Amino acid sequence: MTPERFARIDQMLKRRQPDLTVCMEKVHKPHNLAAIVRTCDAVGISDIHAVWDEPKMKLSGHTATGSQNWVKVHAHDDVTNAIGALKQQGMQIIATNLSATAVDFRQIDYTKPTAILMGQEKDGITPEALALADQDVIIPMVGMVQSLNVSVATALMLYEAQRQREAAGLYQPADKITKQERDRIMFEGGHPIFAKVCRQKGLPYPEIDDEGQILAPDSWWKKVQMSQSAWQHIDDDE
């Protein structure tokens, strides 16, 4: 990893917002998924949540043009479990929904731990999810259309959250994520070829130093270059 790439990843990680996230309820169109993930990365979100009808559904390798390498998608079986997990993290759940109690989305305090709930393209957020939300919000519109594309609506809300958090100083560089998570992202982003080899061969990620360079014993380097069937004598020698 070059010093320049290390510095860029390091600065990105120090501005991450671990207490800001998006929860997608059955959003399934690839271009919407791609746009949401890309926006999340742009505003410093590293983890998002998704509830899909198909448990194995995931972003394709090219869908988010690389953004999926920096944003982890946590899949949930149902929206109740997803929201429950977010509330356990102390997050307020904000849902876009036209209701008698809905407020302008800009009135929300996004400096608090926040999860923005976005619904499926056609039917929106389900009644079950709305019942679990802490506050409904609307995006004011004065034209003939009644709703925005889900990825556009997500972007508007996330950039309002960024604006508020920037003003509150929450984007000042700081270590906001665990060292383990930081090292994982740094290794995968700075050494993508070795990270792929580790995943393919079932090798644990090595430690990395304060400059992002790999710290690993000779046995790890040998295993990287060999097939799993040839590892036995290496393990026996350790």
* Binding-site entries for S-adenosyl-L-methionine: 96, 139, 148
Determine which helix (DSSP H) or strand (DSSP E) holds 26, and give its type and residue range.
none
| Helices H / strands E in the chain, number of each | 9, 9
Long-range contacts of 216-222 (CB under 8 A, 24+ apart): none
Do the strands 135-138 and 92-96 form a parallel or antiparallel pair, or are they unpaired? Answer: parallel
What 3-state class would DSSP assign to 30? helix
d(CA 104, CA 18): 24
Residue 116 tokens, joined: 């923005």
- List residues forming the annotated binding site: 96, 139, 148
What 3-state class would DSSP assign to 164? helix
Degrees (nearest 5) of the Cα angle 119, 125, 131? 140
